[in-house]
Structure 1
Amino acid sequence: MSHMNKTLELIAHQINATDQMMVASIEDYRFNLVEFNHAVHIKLAYCYLVKNGPKTSILNMQNTLKGFLHANGVDRNKFHVTLTHAWLKAVWHFMQNCPAMKSSDEFIQNNPALLNKDLLLSHYSHELLFSDQARKKYVDPDLNRLPE
């Protein structure tokens, strides 16, 4: 598939009303903290990427996650810069390599590898990924390059 076709395919990824409600409830801190699991992180990343592309999405994701943590009384140090960046890159990579989806649920159903929380450990050593350095600022992988 040519680069042009991939770009057209990417533009066709969509979110639905359920996705919009989920994003809104996270952004205004109504979403239940107990239910804010890995799958919800992936869905949120997908929604931001559909709406804004990768550059703006990283800022949206960082701001939303930091605000959500703060609003729920969670220590802001729980926010992890490298995990946030690397998962967004992973979601973007999968979006570029699958047919256009109509929702975040459909995207996850068709890309179940993204539900594997250890996926990034094929790119990062455990020591680096969970280091204080990686928590505070983005670090490149030490095992295998992430797809761009």
Structure 2
Amino acid sequence: MTDTEFLAAFEDTSLPRYEWTHTAHVRMAFLYLSRLPYAEAEASIVAGIRRFNAAKGNATGYHHTVTVAFARLVAARLDGSDWPAFQAANPDLFSIQKHYSPEVIKSDKARAEFVEPDLETLP
């Protein structure tokens, strides 16, 4: 699926639920951040995930800290490459463990609002 097809399927919520993986989340963030100023991209990411989850009956799946943290990490690493090259060059973007302890990232507060990392700062 091309980037345009992927983003369209995400936006219109036709992307199958089983394809909504962590990699798909990072790809979506990469695409918005590559195309929009940061604040607009972050707003699109947040609204898009909430809309997608609601359409798929996942009322409790959204996690604000994870969403914003990954948006910041992706934005800091944008280098003009395409998605396959970006993904290959940034394998550590597929884990949040070096930034957050399990206690912090699993907290209700982190799910509802952005919480700064307790292990390693974000860009």
**What TM-score does the superposition give when structure 2 sets the normalisation length?**
0.93
Structure with greater Cα Rg: 1
The correspondence of residues 1-148 of structure 1 with structure 2, limited to 5 A, is: 18-75=2-59, 77-95=60-78, 99-101=79-81, 103-115=82-94, 117=95, 120-147=96-123
CA distance in 1 between counterparts of 2:27 and 2:117 reads 23
Deviation at 1:112, TM superposition (A): 2.0
The alignment partner of 2:100 has SS state of: coil
Residue segments in structure 1 that go unaligned for 5+ positions in a row: 1-16
Structure 1 outlier segments of 4+, above 6 Å: none
Residue 45 of structure 1: CA displacement? 0.5
Looking at structure 1, the residues matched to 121 and 85 of structure 2 have their Cα atoms a distance apart, in angstroms, of 27
Give per-residue Cα distances to partners, 1:78-103, cap 9 Å, x unaligned: 100000000111111221xxx421x2
Q: Percent identity?
A: 30
Q: Which amino acid aligns with 2:18?
A: V
**AA aligned opposite 2:46:** Q
Counterpart code for 2:120: N
Structure 2 CA distance, aligned partners of 1:47 and 1:88?
Answer: 11
Q: Which has the higher contact order (CA 8 A, sep 6+)?
A: 1
Q: Aligned letter for 1:79? A: Y
Q: What TM-score results when the alignment is normalised by the length of structure 1?
A: 0.78
